[in-house]
Amino acid sequence: GRIIHLADYRPTDFVLERVDLTFELDPEATKVEARLIFHRREGTDPAAPLVFDGDELTLSGLLLDQMEMAPERYTATPDSLTVRDLPESSPFELTITTIINPQANSQLMGLYRSSGIYCTQCEAEGFRRITYFPDRPDVLAPYTVTIIADKAANPLLLSNGNYLGGGNFDEGRHFAAWFDPHPKPAYLFALVAGDLGVVEDTFTTMSGREVALKIYVEHGKEPRATYAMDALKRSMKWDEEVFGREYDLDIFMIVAVSDFNMGAMENKGLNVFNDKYVLADPETATDADYANIEAIIAHEYFHNWTGNRITCRDWFQLCLKEGLTVFRDHEFSADQRSRPVKRIAEVRHLRSEQFPEDAGPLAHPVRPDKYREINNFYTTTVYEKGSEVTRMIATILGRDLFKKGMDLYFERHDGEAATVEDFVKCFEDASGRDLGQFSLWYNQAGTPHVTVTADYDAAGKALTLEIGQTVPATPGQADKKPMHIPLDLAIVLEDGTIAVPASVDGAEMTGSVLHLKEARHTVTFTGIASRPALSLNRSFSAPVIVRYEQKPADLALIARHETDLFSRWQAITDLALPALKDAARAARKGEAIQIDVTFAEALLAVAADPALEPAFRAQALTLPSEADIARELGGDNDPDAIHAGREAVLTAIARAGADAFGSLFDAMAAEGAYSPDAASAGRRALRNAALLYRTIAEDAPALAAEAFAKADNMTDLSQALTVLAHRFPEAPETHAALAAFEARFAENALVIDKWFQIQATIPGEGALARVMRLKEDRHFNENNPNRVRSLVGAFVFSNPTGFNRADGAGYRFLAEEILRIDAKNPQLAARLLTSMRSWRQLEAGRAELARTALVRIEREALSNDVRDIVDRTLK
């Protein structure tokens, strides 16, 4: 595949006016007829040919204004169709016919079949696997779609927009027609056909229109779709109230399918979902599943305005819809649940996923300027860092001006394919501020480092900060410019109050936000009554790494008194990190691990504080992960030593807090019947954290086995099973629990995924043999992405000691998996391979073994997807 550059963008020579598609569905030979009306764009070369994209297509008919075209006027190959000698000025109609094989489509891109259901996935470039088309996001048109199929097998025939009508044909066939009046790019096209059950509801919009809501699932699973429906209605309401956005069709549909390459897809009026993010009930879904369903339903719904009504000019602008829509779903979840707890979870996720990406060979700007395979750019940088960049605009402008800028964006660009520049300009115009330097966030990759030193002058009551920023070099970007970093901070005095400085000098400050714009600032605050502790980057106002040496006593002060709960959690984490790092270093040297457990006092105090919400207290008890510690250590990493060190710290906390964990476990027992709401989920999280520490302190499986036996919901059940399996993999209690779990949920593939995942993440070098054994299990299916992610994905992404076995067997296993999966499903293979992105951070022995495995992959014939990842990872 060749490399596509942002700088090469130019508009099409032809304007697409209308699309009219007819599908005659057949599992192995679906006929697709596309009638497309175009006219030549004014001012373009009147001799220019019309070039269509294709992917593995064969042309079986081509008409110009209903007349067969002479073969010398066009050239068709599997990946393109070029039509010459087209009218100079008048509109014309091309009718393109292709025959495709949905049954044989194992890539799950284009039109494919999943458990007997026809469905489509077109983003980013799947539509060109259905018909020849100008398959780029700046080609927008209204679509009419007619679907013809066998009625018994496919009573349901769905596409985008509003239902026009349908009827019966002979030979048991029927048809349905749909019209989507909102011009859209082809990546938002969808078709679904088959036999499904439905959950129905309605929503009355703010202007009083009634919208039919339908969620389609496999027959019998309807009761498990009610939570998704509830989340949908809350999302629709919230988007009206917070962003003033109203839904714009008569019907909104969601279809759950079991074979899907990602989470879900925002096709206009017809979202297609991985069933994992639709189906839930207390017996089979965890609290995390409920929260994910709520967030993803919201995310896809919110795309209706940010993505669909206003789409992207080209794929380089992907963050324009993804970063913004993640920001919107984050805000939604924060409003529906607990804002600080949600923020902590977001930051944990950003640090564990995006920071490593930004620090490794796959680093790229939020808006990349080149790509070889666009599917490899649906990354945590585009999504989550993209969301953080939007959040910073809101922080810099303040709530009201941010809202004004969003309103202007919706007004100015509705119906268009826009760019990041268009978006930023709306905030500049709405606020009168210059966001020029700020825009570097879109173009410079790498996580900025902010270093701070403080000097307090007691006599002058002045606090002086030396603040420096650097942005590390990333692939293709050696030198970086200073960024505009909005750093929210609090100066916490000895009595726990937050100081209000008499004056600030050396950097602009708005409210509690300091605006860093230079490589170095010397900032002086006056009127600071006592030697302060510094709470930096409150609520994680900027996605940066802050380096500031702070005394444990000062961190403890912040952990106790900060009004920003995120910062209290951060202080607790900062207190624990030195212990975790020291323990890992000691283990690495083969020394005895000594732990001074004073750091845990603040953590235990927060955990026991009844004034704080349980979900927050549970977060305080959840130590940084092994991957987090590896990142903090910054290289030459030995995953076994990190694991051993972290275990020692956990044990020290478990012993120090033994009494507290006992009473917490009892105090957080369920009150009444299960409810998935955030408050109840928080109590379960805290109780399960206590269970973990109690089990560690006792070093025996009995408590977890008892919790497993008594659990009346999937959260408690799977947590207890995880504790058993991860801590006592060979205990009879564990074998019994795993067998009972498997027997009870054998018919529910999504729950069996949890069973795979729990076993795939059992630490230690035995993990690989276990994973290989499970690959032979009757529940495993290599063609189903959810199964592959639960077993192979969980092993390579979430089992640091198992995957990074010192003999390199984990890497060799991954290489073989990648090569086999790549032949069927390149997107899935490429995603799994990103698990190698931090290989250079490993100690030399493992790094060399990892490199050897990458080279093994690199030498084979590969898809464009895997080729792109392996080449960049090795570079």
Interacting residue ranges for ligand B3K, rule: CB under 6 A? 123-124, 262, 264-266, 299-300, 303, 322, 375, 378
Whether residue 24 lies in the annotated active site:
no
Q: How far is the CB of 379 from ligand B3K (least distance, A)?
A: 10
- Annotate 709-763 with three-state secondary structure: HHCCCHHHHHHHHHHHHHHCCCCHHHHHHHHHHHHHCCCCHHHHHHHHHHHHCCC
Query: Residues 96, 37: contact at Cβ < 8 Å?
Result: no
Contacts of 811 (CB under 8 A, 6+ apart): 803, 836, 849, 850, 852, 853, 854
Contacts of 830 (CB under 8 A, 6+ apart): 373, 375, 376, 822, 863, 865, 866, 868, 869
Shortest CA distance to 716 belongs to which of 696, 744, 697, 691? 691
161-199: b (≥16 Cβ within 10 Å) or e: bebeeeeeeeeeebbbbbbbebbbbbbbbbbbbbebeeb
Residue closer to Zn ion by CB (options 382, 618) is: 382
Residue 286 and residue 162: Cα distance in Å, rounded? 35
Residue closer to ligand B3K by CB (options 4, 519) is: 4
Instruction: Determine if residue 45 is left, alpha or beta; phi over 0 gives left, psi from -120 to 50 gives alpha, anything else beta.
Output: beta
Strands (E), 233-290: 251-257, 264-265, 270-274
Q: Give phi and psi for 644, each to the nearest 5.
A: -60, -40
Reduced to 3 states (helix: H, G, I; strand: E, B; else coil), residue 309 is: coil
Q: How far is the CB of 103 from Zn ion (least distance, A)?
A: 29
Helical (H) or strand (E) element with 124: none
Given ligand B3K, Zn ion, none, residue 378, with its beta carbon under 5 to 8 Å by kind, binds: ligand B3K
Catalytic position from the list 300, 331, 353, 384: 300
Helical (H) or strand (E) element with 73: none
Q: How far is the CB of 241 from Zn ion (least distance, A)?
A: 21
Q: Which class for 44: exposed (0-12), middle (13-18), buried (19 or more C-beta within 10 A)? A: middle
Residue 603 and residue 20: Cα distance in Å, rounded? 62
Residue 777 and residue 758: Cα distance in Å, rounded? 15
Stretch that binds Zn ion, among 316-324, 345-353, 593-601, 716-724 (CB under 5 A): 316-324
Residue closer to ligand B3K by CB (options 124, 363) is: 124
Residue closer to Zn ion by CB (options 321, 727) is: 321
Given Zn ion, ligand B3K, none, residue 375, with its beta carbon under 5 to 8 Å by kind, binds: ligand B3K
Shortest CA distance to 322 belongs to which of 232, 226, 423? 423
Interface of this chain with Zn ion, residues 424 to 453, rule: CB under 5 A: none
Given ligand B3K, Zn ion, none, residue 265, with its beta carbon under 5 to 8 Å by kind, binds: ligand B3K
Given Zn ion, ligand B3K, none, residue 123, with its beta carbon under 5 to 8 Å by kind, binds: ligand B3K
Helix 600-608 and helix 639-656, axial crossing angle in degrees, nearest 10 = 60
Residue closer to ligand B3K by CB (options 303, 851) is: 303
DSSP assigned state of 257: E
Given ligand B3K, Zn ion, none, residue 450, with its beta carbon under 5 to 8 Å by kind, binds: none
Residue closer to ligand B3K by CB (options 264, 606) is: 264
Strands (E), 160-240: 162-168, 173-184, 191-194, 197-204, 210-217
Stretch that binds Zn ion, among 314-322, 408-416, 427-435, 755-763 (CB under 5 A): 314-322
Number of residues written out for the chain: 875
Query: Measured on CA atoms in the order 120, 234, 303, 488, is the torsion positive or negative?
Result: negative
Q: How far is the CB of 793 from ligand B3K (least distance, A)?
A: 16
Residue closer to Zn ion by CB (options 322, 353) is: 322
Query: Measured on CA atoms in the order 481, 482, 486, 489, is the torsion positive or negative?
Result: positive
Residue closer to ligand B3K by CB (options 375, 439) is: 375
Upstream peptide bond of 124 is cis (omega within 30 degrees of 0): yes
Q: How far is the CB of 299 from Zn ion (least distance, A)?
A: 5
Q: How far is the CB of 385 from Zn ion (least distance, A)?
A: 14
| Longest distance between any two alpha carbons in the chain, whole Å | 95
Q: How far is the CB of 411 from Zn ion (least distance, A)?
A: 22
Residue closer to ligand B3K by CB (options 371, 745) is: 371
Q: How far is the CB of 378 from ligand B3K (least distance, A)?
A: 5
Shortest CA distance to 307 belongs to which of 234, 212, 416, 381? 416
Residue 800 and residue 767: Cα distance in Å, rounded? 10
Given ligand B3K, Zn ion, none, residue 239, with its beta carbon under 5 to 8 Å by kind, binds: none
Relative to beta strand 520-526, strand 503-505 is: antiparallel
Residue closer to ligand B3K by CB (options 322, 564) is: 322
Residue 665 and residue 695: Cα distance in Å, rounded? 11
Number of residues that bind Zn ion (CB under 5 A): 2
Residue closer to ligand B3K by CB (options 124, 435) is: 124
Q: How far is the CB of 854 from ligand B3K (least distance, A)?
A: 23
Residue 359 and residue 692: Cα distance in Å, rounded? 32
Q: How far is the CB of 297 from ligand B3K (least distance, A)?
A: 11
Q: How many angstroms separate the Cα of 808 from the Cα of each of 590, 768, 835, 845? A: 21, 11, 14, 9
Q: How far is the CB of 544 from ligand B3K (least distance, A)?
A: 25
Given ligand B3K, Zn ion, none, residue 366, with its beta carbon under 5 to 8 Å by kind, binds: none
Stretch that binds Zn ion, among 224-232, 315-323, 539-547, 841-849 (CB under 5 A): 315-323
Q: How far is the CB of 297 from Zn ion (least distance, A)?
A: 12
Residue 177 and residue 33: Cα distance in Å, rounded? 14
Q: How far is the CB of 142 from ligand B3K (least distance, A)?
A: 21
Stretch that binds Zn ion, among 323-331, 487-495, 499-507, 813-821 (CB under 5 A): 323-331
Q: Which class for 699: exposed (0-12), middle (13-18), buried (19 or more C-beta within 10 A)? A: exposed
Residue 614 and residue 668: Cα distance in Å, rounded? 8
Position of minimal CB gap to ligand B3K: 123
Residue 824 and residue 833: Cα distance in Å, rounded? 15
Catalytic residues: 300
Which residues contribute to the site for Zn ion (CB under 5 A)?
A: 322, 325
